[in-house]
Structure formats: C-alpha cells, structure tokens
Structure 1
Amino acid sequence: MTDLSFLSAPGMAAGFAAETRPRAHGAGIDVHEYDRVTGPLESLLQWPDACRAAALRHRAAAERAAARGHRRTAGERHRLAARWFHLGTLLPDPDRDRAAELAGEADRAMGQSLALLEPQARRLSGEGFAGWLRLPENTPGTANGKRFPVVVVIPGMDSTKEEFHALADALLARGLAVLAIDGPGQGVMAADTTMSADGHRSAVARALDVLAGDGDGGGADGGPLDLGRVAVVGLSLGGYFAASVAAQDPRVRAAALVSGPYRLDWDALVPFVIATLGRRCGSPEAARAFAEAIDLRALAPQLDGPLLLVEGGEDRIPGVTNGEALSAHLPHAEVLHVPHGNHLLGNALADWLPETADWLADALLTK
C-alpha cells in the first residue's frame, strides 16, 4: 500500500501550489485566479475539491453565456472548466472515485468547449486511448486537395489531453492537425487501465489506425489528414512515451521531447512521484518496475529521425533529459536549452513554445 500521509504534512499545500503555479500558467490558468483558489488551502487533501469548485464556477458562467447566445464566451469558459477539472487530478488522490469523476468532467467540459468553438473537432477512442482531434481553424476539409499533417500530443505522468492548450493552439496556427490523447493510466483511461513503459506505443499506433480507416480522418476517400506526415510531441514522462513511439512506429517522421526523462532512478524519486506512479501503474511494485524500464539509451539506436530535446535549466526532476547526457547516444538530436526554464517550462513559454511549434511544422511541411 502506498503511503499518502505526506499529503497532509504541514506546508505541503503551499509548497505544491508554488511548484505547480508555472504549470498552471502554462496550461492557461490565470495566475491570480490560481492564487485565489490555492492560497487558502491548509491541507493538500483539500486540493481536488478546491479545483472542482473553480471548475464549476466556470461551467456555470459558460451556461449563462450560452443562454444569452454568446457562443465564444461559453466555449472559452467551458475550456477553463476543463483545465480546472484536470488540475484537480494532479494528486495521487486517496479517493479514486473522485479522481475518476474529475477526469471525466474535464473530458466532458473540453467536449462542450470544442462543440462551440471548433465544431470540426472530434473525440476519438479505442483500445487503450481516448483523444481530441482538432483541425486548423477555418479549414474546409480537403479544399484544393490540401491535407494536414498530424502531431500527436502525448501527456505525462499526471497530465492529460486537456492540459496542453497553448502547444495545441500553436501547432494549429501553423497548419497542423493535432491529436491530443490520454493513453493507459492517464485521464479518462486511468480508471480502467494502468501505465506501462510501452503502453503508449500501442495506444498511438491504434489511434493512427483509427484515423487511417476513418473517412473523416485520413482514410482512402480523401479525408483532411495526411498520415504520411506524422510527428509526436511528448511532455514530461510523455517525452519518453513519444520517443518509444518514434523509435518503433515507421509512420512517425519526427519527435519533440519536452522535459522528458533520460532515465528514472527509483531511489532518487520524491514521495509524491512514487505515490503517483503507484496509482498510475496499479501498485508500488509495478511502479518500481516501470521506473526501472525508463531509459532512453535502449531506444537511441532506433531514434534516427529528426529529434528535438527541449529542456529547462532549472528543472529539478531527477533523470530529466539533458543534452550533455544524451549527446553520446543521440548525436543528431537538436537541443533547445532554456537556462531559466523549469519542468515543462511553464515559466518560459515564449522561449520554447514558438520555436518548438516551428520545428515541428518544418519537419512535417517541408518536403
């Protein structure tokens, strides 16, 4: 049984809120609202309900706006609700039912937002995955024979398909379709599946298979997607998952790893990460075996396509990718190092996000 007593330790709520603040900013949460919601917390056990309350306020505002015919405001408020519901899932919550409910509410709120703001967006699901497929704005399908490359966004240990809005929006603005997924052990999949070192490879493969056989995707009848041009971008632990996909699926042309782990040292992991992995992997024993399997050196010989490593110089997560450690194994990789960036670089969006989106666009749009 995983020890979760640290969740109620003195000062844990304030420390976690401060550590998560840049991440919330990167996910599109106003930092002043974030401070109002998290500042009064006396125990981290109050975190999920506080985030849920914030989400419900945005949902109520969305419903009021929709009743007045203000579709954009309603859509934007639903999207904020999705972000807050997701933030409520970041803990290794002792209440598994509550965690599953919050993930489901985030999924629902994102669906309500996209229905209003991007009616061409679609929710996809299959064995081991659920995802949001979004197309560039004002896109009339296959007009003039144009088809859109696809970037698959892969979240990490405690992130989901509802988190990385800024990245998805930057890719869409550059003419790329975006499929953001929950894989095994993530988001709406966490209630029924567990995380494994190679689970996302299979999940992404199945997602691409669904798109290839779907007339509204990239099927033989000429859907809007060009599945001959696919890239993956992984965030945090998703960076390793993205590397695994790129190494083993020939359909993937390029990969970007943002704050991704080079390897995980179980003995160096903090209690929060150990507890979260225990929840996501199904047991403490499975979590340890999972951590011991995360090592990019084994994948390096197969990562021969374009590869971008994005790292923050202030990242304190043990084992996270760094250019010096990887240079001997991946000499062709490009490194975007942001000295003042933290984990996921939520404190330095302008210093990595545009360049990363440009890099992915160049990898897929350049013949």
Structure 2
Amino acid sequence: MSAAEFAAAQRTRATGAGLDPHEYERVTGGLVSVDGWGEAFIRTAQQHVARAKQAASPRSAGEHYQVAARWFHIATLAPHGDQSPAATEADRAMGCALALLEPGARRVEGPAFTGWLRGPADAPATVVVVPGLDSGKEEFHTVTSALLRRGVAVFTMDGPGQGVLAATTTVRPDYHQVIGQVIDALGVDRVGLIGLSLGGYYVAESAAHEPRVAAAATVSGPFRLDWDTAPPLVRDILTRRAGGPEAARDFARRVDLSTPAPRIACPLLVVDGGRDVIPGVTNGEPLARLAPHGEYLFVPHGDHLLGNARADWLPTTADWVRGALT
C-alpha cells in the first residue's frame, strides 16, 4: 500500500481523533512511503509539545499537550516498526494536558488496565470508554467529551494489548475479566460501557458476563471475525497485538458473539456504518437482533468508526448511554 493510499484510509479516523485535517494533509502529503509514517507523526507531535512548553498560559499549554497526545497516538498506526515509544509519549502528553486542563482527573490502574477517570466526583453514573485493536485511550476524545458534557464521569482506558500497555501485554478475548477489575478499582456498583471497533466486541462480551454492566453501546464493533478472509493489514496488527500468528488466529476464532449475545441482560445500542465493509468482519446487526434489549442505529454513509458521520450518531449515542444509566 502506498503512503497516499494509507493516508486516505486513515483520514477520517485521524480527523475524528482530533487532528487538524489541513495539518494532516501537509504531514501525509510529504511521505515518500508508509515506512515514514511513525517518524513524521512523532515529529509533528513533538512540535506541539514544544509549543506547550512555550505557551503563554496553562490553558494554551494544556491544549497543545492534548493535540500532541493525539499525534503521538496516530503515529502508532504505522504498519511497521516499534509503536511503543509513540504510545508512551501519547500517554505522557495526555497526562500533562489533564494536569493543566482537568486537575481533578485521576489515574486509575490495575493488573490489566490503566486509564484516566474524568468528570464530577458526584456524577450520577460512570461510563467506561473501551478502545479497539490498535486504538487507545488518547483516541476517542470526541466520545469522551460528549459524555462529559452530559454530566457523567468517564473512564478512558487501555487494556491488554492496547495503547501504552501494548508493549508488555497481549489481547485477550475474555475482556469481562478486565472490566471486572476496572469496576472494582473505580469503586462503583455499576457502569455503562461504550466500545469502538474491536472494543465493541469487548463491550458486548463484557455485558454478557459482568452483571455490573448496566448499559452498553458498540460502535463499528465486530459480531464475528474470520481470520482466513481478513485483510493482511488486520492480520498483521492482530499478530503483533496477540504475540504471534497462532495466538492471533486463536483470538480471531474466539471473537464470535453468537452465544454471548442472548445473555446480554442490560440495554444495548449497536451503531454501524453502511460503508464499513472489512473482509472477514461481520458487523453488528446480528448482535442487536440477538440481544434481548438490543437497539440498532444504522448510518448508511458511515465508514469505520463513523468519523465521516459524527453528527448522525454521536449525540444520539451519548444521550442514549446517559439515559440508560440514569
């Protein structure tokens, strides 16, 4: 895949993660090959860190750190090379941003997760934002912001094989074990979950097994994976995140919600885009149909993660999650 093709494929995801589209075009337009992706994005992130250090106010510094965290994170999408340095820098930059912009934000960690708890201490509910195969807690800021504006507390997390933990852990299909640890550490009786991409599978699997999940939403989540027909890029990413080809193949085999779906007792919203067509991936309509309290929101022109159609699903989904919990 050429650099231009890779940049086009990642464009709505990158801009949905908060990158300025014009800056994105300038950075990716200078790439000779996709091998230079990570270096170019890290260099751009470092420029925002430099601006943060020179900023005239804490607010401006925090905003520059926030932007830097997003550039560092998108650097980890590079198909080749070691992504862990960029993930570490994304984590560090987000910590600097929150220290300045939201000093009440609290780092919460456990054996299989790490993340930030944000929002009012007396919030009526807590929502956990669960990332996907090659995403992390720095990516879905628009989802987090939409939920925070609705008055709930939000925990953005990295789990096994995700974000800053990708260098030391591998993905696991029994994600409800991780969510159970998160709920224990947060010290709450119930949570809502929203999962994006593979995080949608994690959320649905958790809702089927963890009784303290009171509401769940999936966005571009797979109902089933078929390793043999998945694109090479997906197989390569999964191989890295699972720790080898056999582990990746076994993980893909276990991503199947046919049996867990009917066990989901809580309200469930499934969001799909009509242009989200990935070979080997069965989208979420069967999940919504099989879950006893499933609802389906289909956006015909939405791509993967619906970054090109945010107005068509994000406000509705944020309202739905808050309403289901409160």
Q: How many pairs were matched up?
A: 325
The CA deviation at 1:320 is 4.0
Partner Cα separation in structure 2 for residue 329 and residue 84 of structure 1: 38
State which structure, 1 or 2, has the greater radius of gyration over its C-alpha atoms: 1
Query: Which runs of structure 1 show a deviation greater than 4 angstroms over 4 or more consecutive aligned residues?
Result: none
Matched, 1:124 2:108: yes
Residue 217 of structure 1: aligned partner: none
The farther-off stretch of 160-169 and 38-47 is: 38-47
Amino acid of the structure 2 residue aligned with 1:303: I
Corresponding residue SS for 2:80: coil
The CA deviation at 1:328 is 4.7
Residue 52 of structure 1: aligned partner: 42
Matched, 1:161 2:153: no
Written as runs of structure 1 = structure 2, the 5 A alignment for 1:40-119 is 40-65=30-55, 68=56, 70-94=57-81, 96=82, 99-119=83-103
Q: 1:34 aligns with which of 5, 8, 24?
A: 24
2:123, 2:152 within 8 Å by CA — same for their partners in 1? Answer: no
The CA deviation at 1:326 is 3.7
Residue 339 of structure 1: aligned partner: 300
Partner Cα separation in structure 2 for residue 358 and residue 167 of structure 1: 11
What TM-score does the superposition give when structure 1 sets the normalisation length? 0.86
Q: Residues 322, 247 of structure 1: CA spacing in aligned structure 2 closer, same or farther, 3 A cutoff?
A: closer
CA-to-partner distance for each residue in 1:91-114, whole Å, 9 max, x for gaps?
3433x3xx1111110000000000
Corresponding residue SS for 2:194: strand
Residue 267 of structure 1: aligned partner: 228
CA-to-partner distance for each residue in 1:120-157, whole Å, 9 max, x for gaps?
0011111011111111xxx4x4xxxx443110000000
The CA deviation at 1:300 is 1.1
The CA deviation at 1:331 is 5.3
2:231, 2:278 within 8 Å by CA — same for their partners in 1? Answer: no
Partner Cα separation in structure 1 for residue 58 and residue 258 of structure 2: 49
The CA deviation at 1:209 is 1.0
Corresponding residue SS for 1:208: helix
1:82, 1:162 within 8 Å by CA — same for their partners in 2? Answer: yes
Partner Cα separation in structure 2 for residue 300 and residue 333 of structure 1: 9
1:277, 1:287 within 8 Å by CA — same for their partners in 2? Answer: yes
Partner Cα separation in structure 2 for residue 263 and residue 84 of structure 1: 31
Written as runs of structure 1 = structure 2, the 5 A alignment for 1:262-341 is 262-318=223-279, 319-323=281-285, 325-326=286-287, 328-330=289-291, 332-341=293-302
Matched, 1:150 2:123: no
Matched, 1:210 2:185: yes
Q: Residues 262, 22 of structure 1: CA spacing in aligned structure 2 closer, same or farther, 3 A cutoff?
A: same
Partner Cα separation in structure 2 for residue 362 and residue 163 of structure 1: 24
Amino acid of the structure 1 residue aligned with 2:74: L
Partner Cα separation in structure 1 for residue 43 and residue 131 of structure 2: 24
Residue 201 of structure 1: aligned partner: 176
The CA deviation at 1:12 is 2.2
Partner Cα separation in structure 1 for residue 85 and residue 288 of structure 2: 43
Residue 12 of structure 1: aligned partner: 2
Unaligned runs of 5+ in 2: none
What TM-score does the superposition give when structure 2 sets the normalisation length? 0.97
Q: 1:237 aligns with which of 198, 214, 220?
A: 198
The CA deviation at 1:45 is 0.8
The CA deviation at 1:322 is 3.6
Written as runs of structure 1 = structure 2, the 5 A alignment for 1:168-183 is 168-183=144-159
2:183, 2:191 within 8 Å by CA — same for their partners in 1? Answer: no
Aligned-residue CA RMSD (Å): 1.3
The CA deviation at 1:181 is 0.7
Unaligned runs of 5+ in 1: 1-10, 213-226
Partner Cα separation in structure 2 for residue 364 and residue 315 of structure 1: 28
Corresponding residue SS for 1:228: coil
2:263, 2:291 within 8 Å by CA — same for their partners in 1? Answer: no
2:123, 2:153 within 8 Å by CA — same for their partners in 1? Answer: no
